[in-house]
Chains A and B, each alone.
Chain A
């Protein structure tokens, strides 16, 4: 059974600081890994998607890495801003053979980030 763990559960940093969020997963047989942002009481916004064959993806101040063999991913946020405050979710896409080959996203519990002005 695939399990996704995110550390830390919460993080508070001053504005301008660079930070790293961690995600680990137990089964390396994944298709891809995604990082999402969730604002309080809201839906999910996809930030970055890394295919299983890739090592990293970058978008603006965000950089996500993937080490599939060790079951780890990191999300690096450069020059953090108060607007970055949100919960960041890591999710892996895996195949469900018993359900006709459909895919499932398995989520971690998230890291709640607070960037203080």
Chain B
């Protein structure tokens, strides 16, 4: 099956520094990738939708200058948490849509694959 790889799996950084998380589709091309954040015992909350070659679309309440998203190729999207603070500590997870499939909206749910997630701890 399709594989989405996230790196790093976990990272600890000092407050005020920036950290980059990568999301790669390993055996398919992804025109769209999604970034989620999950706090303990909470839902996955969509942060932004990343489209290859264009600017990401951020959800309401998500600071675009703090969470920089770059989707430079069909297989890679990156999320950079800038000037991280302890409250940014969370589980970040990406998902990717296979461009070959899901040509109809109704079937698009079949073709979204999730990464393993990245634990960020800011100290």
Contact = CB atoms under 8 A, between A and B. Distances in A.
Interface of A: 4, 31-32, 34, 36, 41-46, 49, 51-53, 89, 91, 93, 95, 99, 101-110
B108 A93 contact: yes
Contacts of B44: 44, 89, 91, 105, 107
A5 to B, nearest CB: 10
Interface in B79-123: 91, 93, 95, 105-110, 112, 114-117, 119
Given A32-B109, A99-B49, A108 B43 contact: yes
Of residues B41, B43, B49, B119, which shows the largest number of chain A Cβ atoms within 10 Å of its Cβ?
A: B43
Q: Determine the interface band of chain B, counting residues with CB < 8 A from chain A.
A: 20 to 34
A21 to B, nearest CB: 15
Contacts, number: 66
A42 to B, nearest CB: 6
B57 interface: yes
Nearest to B44: A107
B41 A31 contact: no
B105 A31 contact: yes
A102 B115 CA distance: 20
Contacts of A89: 43-44
Nearest to B9: A41
Contacts of B34: 105
Contacts of B78: none
Contacts of B112: 105
Contacts of A95: 105
B46 interface: yes
Given A31-B106, A103-B105, A107-B43, 10 more contacts: A4-B43, A31-B108, A51-B109, A93-B108, A99-B49, A104-B46, A104-B49, A105-B46, A105-B109, A107-B44
A42 B32 CA distance: 22
Contacts of A93: 108-109
A39 to B, nearest CB: 10
28 contacts: A31-B105, A31-B106, A31-B109, A41-B119, A43-B114, A43-B116, A43-B117, A44-B44, A44-B95, A44-B114, A45-B114, A49-B109, A51-B107, A89-B43, A93-B108, A93-B109, A95-B105, A99-B49, A99-B57, A101-B105, A102-B57, A103-B105, A103-B109, A104-B46, A105-B44, A109-B41, A109-B42, A110-B43
